[in-house]
Amino acid sequence: MTYNAKIICTILNKLFMATLTNQIRDKFRNILMFDQNMLILAALLGFLAGFASTFFRWMIDFFGSIFSVNGLSMVGIPSQMYPFLLPFMPMLGGFLIGFICKYFPNAVKENGVHKVMYAVALNDGKVRKRTIASCAITSSITIGSGGSAGREGPTVQIGAAVGSTIGQLLHLSTERMRVLVGCGAAAGIAASFNAPLAGVLFALEIILGDFTIHTFSPIIIASVIGTVTGRALEGN
């Protein structure tokens, strides 16, 4: 009986180890497949978010030129009037933003980094597609006209919206949607400020609050590609 019991225990132990090995192998394979697909999407998203972030900077420069001496000279105003009219440029920009807020309230009310955090935490990573255009237009007018605003928040939101849009178009799972939102935010910051590490840390700590391998690797890839895209378009 003792000998038979040992044989049975040995067989059961081998079966258990084989089952455990198969489970570990399957789990590892799933992780690899997840990372392979996400790394490809992260690289694509890094380019798109990097381009969107750079284009947003071009929009700021454009409106900055309009709400300046160049804009006044384009409409034929004499140079003697510049000192008197330039202080009213922020007011004109504020008037345009007020007009947009009045007639397109649904588009403007969704702007803000807190909306990105809300989308990740409570809305399955879904950011409205129109956020890309609404945030870029209103923010570039505000900053370009001399309003009291910065491009950090809009850059994060534009990049995150690009990532969420790709995820929605591909009908990805909630987990992947959230990762893509973080990738977009990281790539946007990296491209706009030439700071890939800052983009990675901001996305991991503030947007996602997740430092697992599933999120860490894609966000690094997106941030690096975003930086390269920004440098290619605007230089170092």
**Per-residue pLDDT of the chain in tens (236 residues, 90 and over written 9):** 455 555 655 655 555 555 645 555 555 455 445 567 888 999 999 999 999 999 999 999 999 999 988 888 888 888 888 888 888 899 999 999 889 888 887 767 767 788 898 888 888 899 988 888 889 999 999 999 988 888 888 999 999 999 999 999 999 889 899 999 999 999 999 998 888 999 999 999 889 888 777 788 899 999 999 999 999 998 76
| Domain boundaries defined on the chain | 34-234
CA dihedral 190, 193, 197, 198 (to 10 degrees): -110
pLDDT at position 28 is 47
pLDDT at position 9 is 55
CA angle 27, 33, 36 (to 5 degrees): 140
Instruction: Using the structure block, give the residue that is written with the tokens 């990740």.
Output: 120
Task: Tell me how far apart the alpha carbons of residues 190 and 133 are, in angstroms, rounded to a whole number.
Answer: 20
Architecture of domain 34-234: Orthogonal Bundle (1.10)
Task: Tell me how far apart the alpha carbons of residues 202 and 26 are, in angstroms, rounded to a whole number.
Answer: 32
pTM of the model as a whole: 0.80
pLDDT at position 215 is 86
On whether the CB atoms of residues 226 and 199 are closer than 8 A, the answer is: yes
pLDDT at position 149 is 81
